[in-house]
Amino acid sequence: MNIILLGAPGSGKGTEGNLISKNYNIPTISTGDIFRENIKNKTELGVVVEKLMNNGQLVPDDLVVSLIKDRLNCDDVKNGFILDGFPRTVAQAQALKEIAKIDKVILIDVDYEITEQRILSRRVCPVCKSVYNTMTYSKDICDKCGASLITRKDDNKETVKKRFDVYVNQTNPVIDFYENENLLYKVDGNLSPDTVYSEIDKILQK
């Protein structure tokens, strides 16, 4: 099954993507994670995207689309995949339509105040990509793989607001795009991760 997770920054796409991936045995493809790896490894792509990401701006469509095109050619996506953070613009959604058939698009709908609170207390594992929150997890190491947790560089108050504005202006139209394609399902992302997952699971079982 080919799935897209849509939602504002902090809506829980990473957390829910990890849960779907584990239970359905299909990989999550997070464009944000791919960019962060490139920044860490100081690749040519990493150098191009670092400033944009730290400013809360989007990476140009052509760069993201060609990256996704390559990734969706890999063998591990043959039985399905979960896209987290892509598409973020209508141009990306249109390009994706030419590359792959999408089965379901799940919008995780969350109030701004909640996303902001979650992002400002978010810690991530740079190795296995697990996501934690200091309000519910106080350790500094990843429970799953033991790596030291980090705070993402763009998880600060100023950038969060910018990322949310970018989401409203550029990604909201993507929701309409998939509604018109009859692929959109909505879940209430203000609830706990497990409750959100059980709603997503019901949709995926339909």
Contacts with ligand AMP by CB under 6 A: the residue count is: 17
Instruction: State the residue for tokens 């990843």.
Output: 142
Q: In b/e form, how buried is each residue of 82-99, taking b as 16+ CB within 10 angstroms?
A: bbbbbbbbbbbbebbeee
What would you report as the CA-atom Rg of the chain, rounded to the nearest whole angstrom? 16
Query: 36 an active-site residue?
Result: no
Contact pattern for ligand AMP over residues 51 through 90, marking x by CB under 6 A: -xx--xxxx----x--------------------xxxx--
Residue 29 binds ligand AMP (CB under 6 A): no
Longest CA–CA span in the chain (Å) reads 44
Report the site for ligand AMP in 140-179 (rule: CB under 6 A): 163
- The continuous run of DSSP H or E covering 62 comes out as helix 61-71
Residues that are catalytic: 13, 88, 122, 152, 163
Q: Which residues bind ligand AMP (CB under 6 A)?
A: 9, 31-32, 35, 52-53, 56-59, 64, 85-88, 92, 163
